[in-house]
Amino acid sequence: MIQMKKNTFPKNKYNHSLKRQMTIVFVVTLALSILALWLINSLFLEKFYIKNKQASLMTVYDRIVAGVNNKELKTEDFELEMRRYASTYNVSLVILKQTRSRLEIVDIYSNEPSAEIVKEAEYYIMGIAGIDSVITKTDDLLVVTRTDMKTSFEYIEMWGVLSEELVFLMRTPVESIRESTEIANRFLLYVGLSSMVVSGIIIYFITRSISKPILELASISERMADMDFDVKYNGKARNEVGLLGNNINRLSESLESTIGELKEANIELQKDNEQKTKIDEMRKEFISNVSHELKTPIALIQGYSEGLKEGINEEEERDYYCDVIMDEASRMNVMVKKLMTLNQLEFGYYEPSPVTFDILDLIRSNVSSAEILTKQAGIETTVPEGSCFVFADEFMIEEVLNNLLSNARNHCESEGQKRIDVSLKMQENRVRVGVFNTGRPIPDESLEHIWEKFYKVDKARTRAYGGSGVGLSIVKAIMDAHGQGYGVSNLDGGVLFWFTLQTAETKELF
């Protein structure tokens, strides 16, 4: 029987109680929120009020301009609307007509004495108005803050020209907002302090009710120490949750040896099942692909063989039939070899064995071995001079180069000089190898599919030079096995295939 260790977690009062922590956090958060509201009130309420007052003045101004343009001054509806605006927005308004000798009042809507507001308008005309600050200024409009010298009250005043003869002055007091702000802040302080006290008491009882079931769960976990659980508590908190985690750890330790063995056996079984499923799927796919691709050459071999059996008298025709049979048999042989190689790469039978070698030397060797083919096709091939050492599987990279250079030769076209250019470009700790050939671009809709097995952009052309549709898939599988990049781009006058390799200086990153 497994001996259980005594619970060493302290059972006395907790110095870091969860209910105490939650209560402190809540009260501090509430205090900070109230403080933030108080600061916002003090700093921005007056500015917001002035902005709102300015908007109110602009509303009245727009209506006055419309009234002047529509010749509504002195109409009953217009005067009623202006009185309503003056009352709603606490605005004093006077519209004046300038003559050479004096100012005539056209309309006035104000709770102030008429003489006072007219006098204010005269100050603006004479240019002696004591302006505190300018809020808005245009050719026809001036919005300012101004302190009345007699009353010491602060106003937002709007002065402007309505026409060649008509001018106006509007103003609204802002002095009361400061007193309102102080009252609001005092009220917020009283309410905030009361809320903090009441909320602190409420949250204390709520957190106590939350911690109680956690302690009950901790007690239950002690009685469940012989059940099947695999859990570890890694927390450092020394509160009710910490007690629960300690009990769960004791429970998981008692079952660790048996559950661990069962998990390992289960993982191995799962891996075996996944491996078997993967093998079955790849076998089905391989058989399906081979059957599809070999259907046409087998049919051709059968047809031409039957023709030979029937007895073709012409020697030239017999030679043609034999050549077709030999070509198709050779094509099937190459296709099957490539399919086997691709299948083994995808399944992981071939793992890269990286070594340090000169990639340019390998390229020159490959180009040299195919020189007779490029000369027959009238293709000029260029390879960079010098050396470039990389860290990769030399055999696999040679297969990549064979496929890309063969693909370039088979698709090289040009009205002028047909050309294949091999290029190297350093990219930090990697080198990018590019194979460019002149010719027609690959259609955009085919670019994302050319790495798929048996995908052929031009099936008739591919068959003409004996292509299997597997070469680029082998390139993809090899580069994926190396964890390197690869791709294709349509350039001006041709197509560029490329792949990256790790330089020898950074081989430890492989």
User: pLDDT, tens digit, for every residue of 329-375?
Assistant: 766 666 666 666 666 666 666 678 889 999 999 999 888 888 888 88
| Same domain flag for 12 and 58 | yes
- Domain end point (choices 207, 223, 239): 223
Write the DSSP assignment of 188-242 as a string of letters: HHHHHHHHHHHHHHHHHHHHHHHHHHHHHHHHHHHHTTTS-----------SHHH
Q: Both tokens of residue 80? A: 């009623």
User: Quick one: pLDDT at residue 497?
Assistant: 94
Q: How far apart are CA 52 and CA 392, in angstroms?
A: 72
Q: How far apart are CA 417 and CA 381, in angstroms?
A: 11
Q: Picking from 134-148, 252-266, 293-307, which range would have the lowest pLDDT averaged per residue?
A: 293-307
Q: What is the pLDDT of residues 106-115, one digit of tens each?
A: 888 877 777 7
Q: Which amino acid is at 376?
A: Q
Asked whether residue 2 is assigned to any structural domain, the reply reads: no
| Same domain flag for 250 and 139 | no
Instruction: Please give the radius of gyration of the chain, using alpha carbons only, rounded to the nearest integer.
Output: 45
Q: What is the pLDDT of residues 170-222, one digit of tens each?
A: 888 876 666 776 777 788 778 878 877 887 788 777 777 666 656 655 655 66
Q: Which residue has the higher pLDDT, 457 or 317?
A: 317
**Is pLDDT above 50 for 465?**
no
Asked whether residue 99 is assigned to any structural domain, the reply reads: yes
> Domain containing 410 — which CATH number?
3.30.565.10
| Same domain flag for 140 and 214 | yes
**Is pLDDT above 60 for 150?**
yes
| Same domain flag for 345 and 250 | yes
| Same domain flag for 459 and 403 | yes
| Same domain flag for 421 and 365 | yes
| Same domain flag for 405 and 318 | no
Asked whether residue 474 is assigned to any structural domain, the reply reads: yes
| Same domain flag for 236 and 166 | no
Asked whether residue 267 is assigned to any structural domain, the reply reads: yes
pTM: 0.40
Q: How far apart are CA 276 and CA 270, in angstroms?
A: 10
Contact assessment for residue 171 and residue 156, using Cβ atoms and an 8 Å cutoff: yes
- Domain end point (choices 324, 349, 374): 349
Asked whether residue 35 is assigned to any structural domain, the reply reads: yes
- State which residues form the domain around 34: 7-223
From the number of C-beta atoms within 10 Å of its C-beta (0-12, 13-18, 19+), residue 314 rates as: exposed
- Domain end point (choices 183, 207, 223): 223
Domain count, the chain: 3
> Domain containing 318 — which CATH number?
1.10.287.130
| Same domain flag for 355 and 345 | no
Confidence of residue 327 (pLDDT cuts 50, 70, 90): low
From the number of C-beta atoms within 10 Å of its C-beta (0-12, 13-18, 19+), residue 437 rates as: buried
| Same domain flag for 278 and 386 | no
Percent of the chain with pLDDT over 70: 71
Confidence of residue 388 (pLDDT cuts 50, 70, 90): very high
| Same domain flag for 356 and 340 | no
User: Quick one: pLDDT at residue 127?
Assistant: 75
- In 3D, which of 289, 325, 290, 319 has the Cα closest to residue 305? 325
| Same domain flag for 24 and 141 | yes
Give residue for tokens 């050479």.
100
Contact assessment for residue 142 and residue 57, using Cβ atoms and an 8 Å cutoff: no
Asked whether residue 1 is assigned to any structural domain, the reply reads: no
Q: Where are the beta strands (DSSP E) in 76-217?
A: 92-98, 103-109, 131-137, 141-147, 154-161, 166-173
